[in-house]
């Protein structure tokens, strides 16, 4: 297939493209606006492949999108382009509404017009795969229970509300217009090339710099962690073999409290980077508790049984193996880190965490 990937320079999108180019025979068209979190360096060797093409396009630009479809004639769309950080959505929800809702609507219309121009086997094989999040389900009540594909939506933040809305748009275009869609909702991703405002890379980089490790509230919030390369394999499996109109939840079977994650990172750094920054005796001494963010959900956890039973996907990495690989990657890739930690990013972290950023 030739697969059009929106947001392919982002964290998950770049992992998908690396997997498509290195492990499959599919061709890729990367459509990315290249905002602060988009980085073509995250694509690695994939960018040199003859099966890779890049279009710097905003998904809100209908004319530009039509041109992309006409030029490249894709067999499928994997839609990952999104504003994705909860904290940023609290400071500036308008960007999330524009990209996640309006942009998805514009992309759906471009895909629908293109799909309706197809015929025969090309029309029968076309797929629109929308990649979403478990945060649309809201907060799990207590330590038991899991999100399933039937869990009612109850988003808590502007980010999760905008993603919930985009999910509804995708399903409406399937029901009303017959667009052949697939939807996936994933748990928290982590791994190489993750923009450093997110929990795991932020903690690694702050610790190595001898800066405080800001933990919201008491750090008791629970998340299910999914190694990004496992997620990339799952997404490609769904677009290759998933049933049209179905939703698949993708999780890592790794529930951990945020404080526990930070403590594990500190322990790995003691082993892998035992030479501490000046003035630091133990990395764990840098842990600092900051005011909890508004509307902070307490627990997410995914039941990934459907994608495992129907499509045969399972995560390869445990949290222990994946976290070790992630910490080591950040220790080994200073050039990539320096390329994304611009002055703008530093200003934002100072705003978000105050003097603890």
Q: Hey, which residues are catalytic here?
A: 134-135, 159
- What residues does 224 pair with on adjacent strands? 255
Residue 10 DSSP SS3: coil
> Sign (positive/negative) of CA torsion 137, 142, 146, 149?
negative
- What residues does 181 pair with on adjacent strands? 128
- Helix extents (H) in the chain: 11-23, 62-72, 86-91, 93-96, 104-117, 120-125, 158-177, 199-208, 228-241, 258-272, 305-311, 319-332, 334-340, 343-353
By CB atoms closer than 10 A (0-12, 13-18, 19+), residue 158 is buried
The DSSP secondary structure of 19-87, one letter per residue, reads HHHHHSS-EEEEE----TT--GGGGGGGGG-TTEEEE---TT-HHHHHHHHHHH--SEEEE------HH
How far is residue 38's CA from residue 238's CA, in Å, rounded to a whole number? Answer: 24
What's the angle, vertex CA 352, arms to CA 350 and CA 357, rounded to 5?
Answer: 45
**Two tokens at 312?**
């045969």
Residue 138: DSSP 8-state: -
């Amino acid at each position: 297939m030739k697969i059009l990937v929106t947001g392919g320079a982002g964290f998950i999108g770049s992992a998908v493209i690396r997997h498509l180019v290195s492990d499959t025979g599919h061709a890729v068209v990367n459509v990315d606006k290249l905002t602060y979190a988009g980085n073509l360096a995250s694509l690695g060797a994939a960018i040199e492949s003859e099966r890779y093409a890049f279009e710097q396009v905003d998904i809100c630009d209908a004319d530009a999108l039509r041109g992309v479809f006409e030029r490249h004639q894709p067999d499928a769309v994997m839609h990952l382009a999104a504003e994705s950080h909860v904290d940023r959505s609290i400071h500036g929800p308008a960007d999330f509404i524009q990209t996640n809702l309006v942009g998805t609507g514009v992309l759906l219309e471009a895909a629908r017009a293109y799909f309706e121009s197809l015929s025969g086997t090309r029309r029968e094989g076309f797929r629109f795969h929308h990649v979403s999040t478990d945060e649309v389900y809201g907060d799990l009540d207590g330590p038991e229970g899991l999100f399933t594909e039937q869990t009612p939506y109850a988003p808590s933040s502007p980010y999760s509300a905008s993603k919930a809305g985009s999910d509804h748009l995708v399903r409406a275009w399937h029901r009303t217009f017959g667009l052949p869609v697939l939807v996936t909702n994933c748990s928290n991703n982590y791994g190489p090339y993750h923009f450093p405002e997110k929990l795991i890379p932020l903690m690694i980089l702050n610790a190595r710099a001898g800066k405080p490790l800001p933990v919201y509230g008491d750090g008791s919030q629970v998340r299910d962690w999914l190694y990004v390369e496992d997620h990339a394999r799952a997404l490609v499996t769904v677009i290759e073999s998933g049933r049209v109109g179905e939703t698949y939840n993708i999780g890592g079977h790794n529930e951990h409290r945020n404080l526990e994650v930070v403590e594990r990172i500190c322990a790995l750094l003691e082993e892998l980077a035992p030479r501490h920054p000046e003035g630091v005796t133990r990395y764990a001494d840098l842990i600092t508790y900051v005011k909890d963010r508004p509307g902070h959900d307490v627990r997410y956890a995914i039941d990934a049984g459907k994608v495992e039973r129907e499509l045969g996907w399972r995560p390869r990495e445990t949290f222990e193996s994946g976290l070790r690989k992630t910490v080591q990657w950040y220790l080994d890739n200073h050039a990539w880190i320096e390329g994304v930690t611009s002055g703008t990013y530093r200003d934002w972290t100072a705003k978000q965490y105050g003097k603890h950023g």
